Amino acid sequence: MPIPVVIPWRPAPSRLDAFDRVRAWYRDELPEFAVRTIDTDDDVFVLARCRNLAVASMEDPDGVIVVNDADTLPETEALRAAVAAASVNGLVNLPYSEYRWLGAEGSAQFAAGTAPIDCSVEQYVEGACSGVYVTTRRTWEAHAGQDERFRGWGFEDAAWYLAHQTLLGAPPRRHAGRVYALHHEGEVRAGVGYERNAALMERYRMAAGERAAMTELVAGNRPEHAS
Strands annotated E in the chain: 3-8, 33-38, 64-68, 72-74, 93-94, 98-102, 123-124, 132-136, 173-174, 178-182
**Contact yes or no for 94/173 (Cβ under 8 A):** yes
pLDDT at 56 > cutoff 90: yes
How sure is the predictor about 227, in pLDDT bands with cuts at 50, 70 and 90? Answer: very low
pLDDT tens for each residue of 72-94: 999 999 999 999 999 999 999 99
Question: Average pLDDT, whole number, for the chain?
Answer: 93
pLDDT score, position 225: 41
Q: Which of 214, 223, 98 is nearest to 162 (CA)?
A: 214
Question: pTM (2 decimals)?
Answer: 0.93
Question: What residues have CB less than 8 Å from 115, skipping those under 6 apart?
Answer: none
Say which DSSP state 44 is in. Answer: S
pLDDT score, position 189: 61
pLDDT at 131 > cutoff 90: yes
- Domains, in order of start, for the chain: 3-225 (3.90.550.10)
The residue type found at 99 is: Y
